[in-house]
Structure 1
Amino acid sequence: MNEVDISKNITEYRKRKKMTIKELANLTGVTPSLLSQIEKGSANPSINTLKQISSVLDVPLFNFFISDVPTESLVVRKDSRKKIMFPEDDSFAYELLTPNSKGEIELMLMKIPPQGASSKEQFSHKGEEVAYVIKGDVRLHLMNSVIELNSGDSVKIPPHSSHKWENVGNCDCEVIFAVTPPSF
């Protein structure tokens, strides 16, 4: 876990507002000396002081506690996706579109070849799922129903609902789906 640098965050938000330490001090009622020490990291602000600063800077208090994440770690390049393949059918695949499964949501791309299926039997998982058909025609076996979906259609699958995807067309089918919490 990254350590949060509150002092750096306060300084950054103050500079975005084009304020000097003295101006911020006048508006918050905190001495310029204390603000300077807070921004240098040599003094720890009280919650009340943080509330005053956040109010004057018009920034939610929690923003001071957020650390930067390297933006490159948020990107998943097309040719670098993690793939889940199955030995019994290597033409069927899932591709992870999120960088990993550590967040609150997981985005996947499912590719089903013509006349292929996601599994032999219906399966369920604890996560809620929303799927969008990008390409092709697919049949979704959802609990005791069968739903025909075409390119552009979407569907929500409730948690713990048994389901199975089946490509009923003669071309590849692609479905993007989000699962929360991640289950793959």
Structure 2
Amino acid sequence: MRFIRLGDVIRAQRKGRFTVDQLSERAGVSSGLISQIERGKGNPSFKTMQRLAAALELPIGALFQNGAPPTAGVPSDPDGLNSTSLHGEQQMVVRRDARKKLVFPKESMVWELLTPDLNRTLEMLRAVVPADYDTREVPFVHQGEECVHIIRGKVEVHIGEQVFALDAGDTITYDATEPHWWRNRGGTEAEVISACTPPSF
């Protein structure tokens, strides 16, 4: 598995645009935590990454791009989430044991990329959502449409002012330009599949 130094990517995206204090104010993340992350000392949560990506006006996947020096740190891009050099089967097939993962240990949150890379017009992700977890602090807003299918568990999807309670086997499709967020309303882990066009991660 390849690791990237997440702090180097955040610093590169920030420099020339914002000071640490300015990014802190925009993201609602303390200056101290941003500095720790940039120095490779922090272990940011998924919610923190959402906030930083939104403040930098980037999809969260942009914070996990190739190109930073490899080091022990955040597991990401093991075979190239953003690869443009896949050939043959790799261009079309993702084997179960070869899925690319983004793991956030603090929250037991796991995202798996089901499409070969992020350079597609369609993106599919599998998410394992911890019990009682929600993303209301930083609602998702992005271009295009999103379709979410519940594999197991009970998930509440908020789209603007509307609320939809979904159970295993249910699917919802919506305009992703509306602020939206999820809540695991069950007492156990939930598993969902999300498809977006164009890619939003």
Name the aligned partner's letter for residue 126 of structure 1: Q
Counterpart in the other structure of 2:101: 83
Q: How does 1:102-113 map to 2 (within 5 A)?
A: 102-113=119-130
Tell whether the 8 Å contact from 1:122 to 1:141 is kept in structure 2 after alignment: no
Aligned partners of 1:119 and 1:111: how far apart in 2? 17
Query: What pairs with 1:141-152 in structure 2 (closer than 5 Å)?
Result: 141-152=158-169
Shift of 1:139: 0.7
Identify unmatched segments of 5+ residues in structure 1: 1-68
The residue type equivalent to 1:131 in the other structure is V
Kindly report which structure 2 residues correspond to 1:109-128, keeping only aligned pairs within 5 A, or say none: 109-118=126-135, 120-128=137-145
Question: Quick check: 1:74 aligned with 2:84?
Answer: no
**Distance across 2 between alignment mates of 1:128 and 1:173:** 22
How far apart, CA to CA, are the structure 2 residues paired with 1:154 and 1:131?
6
CA drift of 1:183 comes to 1.5
Are residue 136 (structure 1) and residue 121 (structure 2) matched?
no
Segments of 4+ moved more than 6 angstroms: none
Q: Percentage identity across aligned positions?
A: 37
TM-score by length of 1: 0.57
- Counterpart pick for 2:114 among 97, 102, 111: 97
The one-character-per-residue Cα deviations of 1:66-93 (angstroms, maximum 9, x if unpaired) are xxx6124322122221222346x44112
Q: How many residues align?
A: 115
Aligned residue number for residue 181 of structure 1: 198
Who wins on radius of gyration, i.e. which is larger? 1
The letter for the 1-side match of 2:118 is S
Pair 1:79–1:155, CA change in 2 (3 A): same
CA deviation profile, 1:122-171 (whole Å, cap 9, x unmatched) = 22111310111110100111111111000011101203111111101111
Where in structure 2 are there 5+ consecutive unaligned residues? 1-86
TM-score (norm. length: structure 2): 0.53
**Cα separation, 1, equivalents of 2:137 and 2:108:** 14
CA RMSD of aligned residues (A): 1.7
Q: Which amino acid aligns with 1:70?
A: G
